[in-house]
Structure 1
Amino acid sequence: MKIRSATLGLFLVSLVITISFLTGCGQNKSADTSAPPDNNAVSEGSSPINGAALTPAEAQETIGEQTTKVIEAIRDQDWKAIAAFVHPETGVRFSPYAHIDTAKDVVLKPDQLEKQFKDPAKLTWGTHDGSGEPIMLSFAQYAEKFIYPHDYAQAETTGYNQVIGKGNTLDNSREPGIYADAIMVEYHFNGFDPKVDGMDWGSLRLFYQQREGVWYLTGVVHDQWTI
Structure 2
Amino acid sequence: MKKILISALILGVAVACKKEVGKPVPNEIDTLTTAITDSTAVIKNNAVQEEALKKANDEVLQALKNKDYKAFASMIHPEKGIRFSMYAFVSLKEDKHFSKADFEKYQPTKTLFTWGAMDGSGDPYKATINDYLGKWVFSRDFTTSQYTLNKFTGKGNSLNNLVEIYPKHDFTENYLKGTEKNGEMDWKTLRFVFEEFQGKYYLIAVVNDQWTI
TM-score range, shorter chain: 0.7 to 0.9
The CA deviation string for residues 139-160 of structure 1, in whole angstroms up to 9 with x for no partner, is 12211332100011121x1111
Paired residue for 1:181? Answer: 168
Paired residue for 1:146? Answer: 136
Paired residue for 1:103? Answer: 93
- Distance apart, 1:58 and its partner CA: 6.9
Aligned pairs for 1:38-187 (under 5 A) are 60-155=50-145, 157-175=146-164, 178-187=165-174
Amino acid corresponding to residue 90 of structure 1 in structure 2: K
Note closer, same or farther for the CA distance 1:190–1:167 as it changes in structure 2 (3 Å cut).
same
Give the 3-state SS of the residue equivalent to 1:174 in structure 2.
Answer: helix
Say if 1:59 and 1:160, in contact at 8 Å, map to a contact too: no
TM-score normalized with structure 1 length: 0.68
- Distance apart, 1:118 and its partner CA: 2.3
Amino acid corresponding to residue 130 of structure 1 in structure 2: G
Count of residues in Structure 1 that have an aligned counterpart in Structure 2:
169
Root mean square deviation of aligned Cα: 2.0
Give the 3-state SS of the residue equivalent to 2:119 in structure 1.
Answer: coil
Amino acid corresponding to residue 211 of structure 1 in structure 2: F
Paired residue for 2:25? Answer: none
Say if 1:189 and 1:201, in contact at 8 Å, map to a contact too: yes
Amino acid corresponding to residue 182 of structure 1 in structure 2: H
Match of 1:204 among 163, 169, 190: 190
Say if 1:86 and 1:92, in contact at 8 Å, map to a contact too: yes
Say if 1:98 and 1:221, in contact at 8 Å, map to a contact too: yes
Asked if 1:217 corresponds to 2:203, the answer is yes
The CA deviation string for residues 71-114 of structure 1, in whole angstroms up to 9 with x for no partner, is 11111121211222222221010000000010111112223334
Unaligned stretches of 5+ in structure 1?
Answer: 1-53
| Identity over aligned pairs, percent | 35
The CA deviation string for residues 10-61 of structure 1, in whole angstroms up to 9 with x for no partner, is xxxxxxxxxxxxxxxxxxxxxxxxxxxxxxxxxxxxxxxxxxxx98x67632
Say if 1:83 and 1:111, in contact at 8 Å, map to a contact too: no
Paired residue for 1:36? Answer: none
Note closer, same or farther for the CA distance 1:214–1:58 as it changes in structure 2 (3 Å cut).
closer
Unaligned stretches of 5+ in structure 2?
Answer: 1-44
Paired residue for 2:40? Answer: none
Amino acid corresponding to residue 118 of structure 1 in structure 2: P
Give the 3-state SS of the residue equivalent to 2:114 in structure 1.
Answer: strand
CA distance in 1, matches of 2:75, 2:83: 13
Say if 1:97 and 1:224, in contact at 8 Å, map to a contact too: yes
- Distance apart, 1:210 and its partner CA: 2.4
Q: Which moved more, 1:197-206 or 1:131-140?
A: 131-140
- Distance apart, 1:214 and its partner CA: 3.4
Amino acid corresponding to residue 64 of structure 2 in structure 1: I
CA distance in 1, matches of 2:102, 2:144: 27
